[in-house]
Amino acid sequence: MFHQQVRTRIAMLLYVGEPSFSQLKSSLAITDGNLDAHLRKLSSAGYLHSRMVLDARPHTVYQLSESGLHAFETYLDALRDILNLADEMPLKS
């Protein structure tokens, strides 16, 4: 699920905070439709929670669910393992 560039970036932003739709859109520099499609994929996998915040202007904020947090940390561990293996490989001459 996370091995797609935009969803990896979304997950990283959710890993460190609870951004709004507009904050995600601005940080990722993608269209509303593209962001919505990726958020729906994460939500349908059970990796995402959203809630409405009623400030001066109502907006929706997003966060990783417990299973999303676990899945993303597992994904990050797998990437670290791959990078560690790459560091151990001899360089081609």
Single pTM value for the model = 0.86
Domains recognised in the chain with CATH numbers: 5-88 (1.10.10.10)
pLDDT of 75 = 96
The pLDDT of residue 89 is 76
Residue ranges in the chain modelled with pLDDT below 50:
none
- The 10 Å Cβ neighbour count of residue 31 is 10
Q: What is the pLDDT of residue 39?
A: 97
Distance CA 59, CA 27 (A): 16
Amino acid 85: pLDDT: 86
Say which residues have a Cβ less than 8 Å from residue 50's Cβ, sequence separation at least 6. Answer: 39, 43, 60, 61, 62, 63
Contact by Cβ (8 Å): 14, 62: yes
pLDDT of residue 93: 62
* Distances, alpha carbon 35 to alpha carbons 27, 44, 75, in Å: 11, 14, 21
